[in-house]
Amino acid sequence: MLVVQQIIANKEAYIQALAKRNFDAAPVLDQVIALDEDRRATQAKLDNTLADSNKFSKEIGILFKNGEQQKANLLKEKTAQLKEVSKELSNHLNDVQNKLSELLYTIPNIPHPSVPNGQSDEDNEEVYQEGEIPKLENEALPHWELAKKYDIIDFELGVKITGAGFPVYKGKGARLQRALISYFLDKNTEAGYKEYQVPHLVNEASGYGTGQLPDKEGQMYHVTGDDLYLIPTAEVPVTNMFRNDLLKESDLPIGCTGYTPCFRREAGSYGAHVRGLNRLHQFDKVEIVRIEKPENSYEALDGMVEHVKEILRELKLPYRILRLCGGDIGFTAALTYDFEVFSTAQDRWLEISSVSNFESYQANRLKLRFKDKEGKKQLAHTLNGSSLALPRVIAGILENYQTPKGIKVPEVLVPYCGFEWID
């Protein structure tokens, strides 16, 4: 979330920046500033009241010791009154602080100056494209038909077990899935990311820490009996490993990677564009997370983009990179690049990765700080990216690598899965 002091110092600039998101910030920022003024004034009154109460308590002891009971009793009455006042001030202070926190949770991150204006994903800016789109035979099939033809993914069986959006991978389909996970993790660890295995359920504090709550509460599966949430991405547990931490400057940068299943309700997602693997409620993903000093975070973002590029080059999938516009960028992100792979059989681009810099927005929620060389405490910057989300990568491989003989496995994956063809 945004830092109150920075809101006060940059109010007009923040109003203009948040307009890129089609967010009317002026009335909300005015409320934040008013609540902060109330908070500071109440805190000052409470501090003075407590100081007077402590002073009188010391004087009462001296008066009793000197036998001046009448004066001591008068001060005791004043002290009792001050305790009532301090109780009222404390209650008011807690109320104001809660209202301020709740209001700050409703304000999205300030977009980076390079974020283009726009209302929706149609206004995103293409910044890079690489790879030759293959020319397929006339009888080329979309991945959901290929999955059925070669008996590698069973969507109907998933419906039987759970419901739509929970596919069952079978035989070579399951082995290809496992191969991709291992390959992605190996690529990430070779690039210096430390691998973690993390819980697939998180508590409410973790959801608030990375910004899934309250913004995306309706998209998360909630285990009500234990008040836990199934994770929508490994970003949530991995980043929350550092919640409330005070790091040393020498600890940075920190790079983490982890594989997890991901769970998303995706309420209201229907139609041909969500067929097969295009939109699922459960899917596998390998994530990378970085914690950086503020002055290094955008260089780190560029490095993450290059890292994902290298993976797609090795998979030999045609892809493009989009810089998300203000109307499409995520609530917590300052700048996001989306990677999309071209689905030849569907004749459309499919998102397979998002790489984002959150600057200090998540860190402020997480209370994730580091102590610089001068001993000053600063908020760190957090970044994360998919490297990669599996369903649409598999869809791209099945569709772009299909031949009359069968589906050729990308060369880089053969050592991982142990076969060259799905036939």
Domains and CATH numbers, the chain: 4-104 (1.10.287.40), 121-422 (3.30.930.10)
Q: What is the mean pLDDT of each run of 10 residues along the chain (423 residues)?
A: 97 97 97 98 95 85 80 83 93 97 97 96 97 84 96 97 96 98 98 98 97 88 96 97 97 98 76 78 97 98 98 97 97 98 90 97 98 95 96 95 95 98 97
Among 53, 83, 85, 59, smallest CA distance to 72 is for 59
* Confidence at residue 358, expressed as pLDDT on a 0 to 100 scale: 98
Alpha-carbon distance of 206 to 217, in angstroms, equals 12
Which amino acid, one-letter code, is at 325? C
Annotation: binding site for ATP: 264-266, 351-354
* Confidence at residue 155, expressed as pLDDT on a 0 to 100 scale: 96
* Confidence at residue 185, expressed as pLDDT on a 0 to 100 scale: 98
Annotation: binding site: 233, 264-266, 287, 351-354, 384
Among 298, 365, 334, 324, smallest CA distance to 110 is for 334
Alpha-carbon distance of 311 to 290, in angstroms, equals 18
Annotation: binding site for L-serine: 233, 264, 287, 384
Which amino acid, one-letter code, is at 376? K
* Confidence at residue 275, expressed as pLDDT on a 0 to 100 scale: 86
Q: pTM to 2 decimals?
A: 0.92
Alpha-carbon distance of 183 to 317, in angstroms, equals 15
